[in-house]
A and B are shown apart, each in its own frame.
Chain A
């Protein structure tokens, strides 16, 4: 199993990496939101190319991003398959009463392109900043503290969780366990899942105790030091300008 290490390439150096993390979060969020509302498939396609261009600039290996895009794309793929059959409209092709509609194909593709664009941008945003910096930026952008803390602890403990699962799994295999499609195998798997839940609950309790014994009262206090540079304002302006061009061009078409 691979660790979900989203910030594996955060130590590279590029224009996107150097971008102030708070400005990055704001502008990328703007980009994503304006791109998912694009109605015209040609503009949507250009926005996908634009995101790809940002990926090039960020110098993160394509394979890394594409691998992580897969789960999301698999999730939206059914739209592309179902919509051409389900939606009425101009018939593109028809066979034995089953027809594929042009509108269905259009909207199906639009959904997939929008999803690809927004997932890619999200991954670039997260992939070019170290996770703790992202969390601190969210904190300094006044995102509610319970939300940021939940994110932070989830990210911290998912690794512990995976290690725990792997070590249990290895020790089961070392004792001759093989997954088979029978009742015994299933009941054992059920057992580990239960075990993991109990362990996580107990760990959460111990972590909380450890925090409490260091004076935690629910408030998150971290030292945040960010400073916007001229280059950051410049890049933010360019990206926001791009958003505006997309929006204005989109409006002029409709």
Chain B
């Protein structure tokens, strides 16, 4: 398997002296689904600025498919990696949605028919069909976020990097977006790297999680990260509600093999656990139940 992104010993301080990144090491394989979590001000956005060449590292610390991103030509770079930032107004600078989404493909030197095809496709992907002639100041924040995503999708990069994609979206749009990302990842082999605070979307968007707090403090499968409640607490994180609920259920005697991270997983795990008990799971209160429940709750409370 090929390495999509490789970051080694990356340090970065802003001109005012703020140290934003301290010895960051990240290694992402092609086709992986990665989420980067961490408190506000942890350096997630700063890290992403390195991935589209806005901030240039001094050495060859950031590599995309083996090439040092600082010395890549723009045309090559935008084919490899597309970054969508959180603030859509900064990313929609043309007068219509169509022109914004066509901007990248036109700069790649594609033919007009191809550009048109890509714009239509990107709009359909994010669910904004018919928005071609809309002007950004007539759109809602969530719509602008989708348009900003479409404007990067139209370049069809091999690695898609998203900064807080679900923030400010309504529940349906959020679910749609999660579906879009999963479809791109599963069916088109696109590597996705997402920074977000939306822990309940985590299990669907991550094979693996990095916890960033100026430096990488932890890395691993989602469940391992969230089982470590000291780590979770220290980094201003929280475990998904369903995860905590099943921890509590366990105190009442409802034990599953693995603590589920999502609703879908909970159905699977519960079914398995109950089948193993010959079709019946009994819950009960014993001496230490309340104590155990309190322990679980307080271990994740901030």
Contact = CB atoms under 8 A, between A and B. Distances in A.
A227 interface: no
B91 A152 contact: no
Given A132-B95, A214-B155, A207 B90 contact: yes
A156 B89 CA distance: 10
B275 interface: no
Chain A contact residues: helix, strand, loop or mixed: helix
Given A209-B54, A213-B52, A223-B112, A160 B89 contact: yes
A159 B99 contact: no
A152 B52 CA distance: 25
Contact of A215 (B87, B95, B108): B108
B93 A210 contact: yes
Contact of A132 (B96, B108, B116): B96
Chain B contact residues: helix, strand, loop or mixed: helix
A156 B90 contact: no
Contacts of A210: 85, 90-91, 93
B90 A203 contact: yes
Nearest to B96: A132
Contacts of B91: 207, 210
Interface string A126-167: 000011100100000000000000001101110110010000
Given A223-B112, A223-B115, A223-B116, A213 B94 contact: no
A135 B54 contact: no
Interface residues of B, number: 35
A129 to B, nearest CB: 12
A155 B95 contact: yes
B102 interface: yes
A1 to B, nearest CB: 14
A213 B108 contact: no
A229 B85 CA distance: 43
B206 interface: no
Contacts of B209: none
Nearest to A131: B95
A215 B78 contact: yes
Contacts of B136: 156, 159
A105 to B, nearest CB: 44
Given A160-B89, A210-B85, A212-B54, A221 B107 contact: yes
Given A203-B90, A210-B91, A223-B116, A215 B99 contact: no
Contact of A135 (B49, B82, B95, B104): B95
Q: Which of A212, A213, A223 has the most CB of B within 10 A?
A: A213
Interface of B: 49, 52-54, 74-75, 78, 82-83, 85, 87, 89-91, 93-96, 99, 102-104, 106-108, 112, 115-116, 133, 135-137, 151-152, 155
23 contacts: A131-B95, A131-B135, A132-B96, A132-B99, A152-B94, A152-B95, A155-B95, A160-B137, A206-B85, A206-B87, A207-B91, A209-B52, A212-B53, A212-B74, A213-B82, A214-B78, A215-B104, A215-B108, A215-B155, A217-B74, A221-B103, A222-B102, A223-B106
Interface of A: 3, 130-132, 135, 152-153, 155-157, 159-160, 163, 203, 206-207, 209-217, 221-223
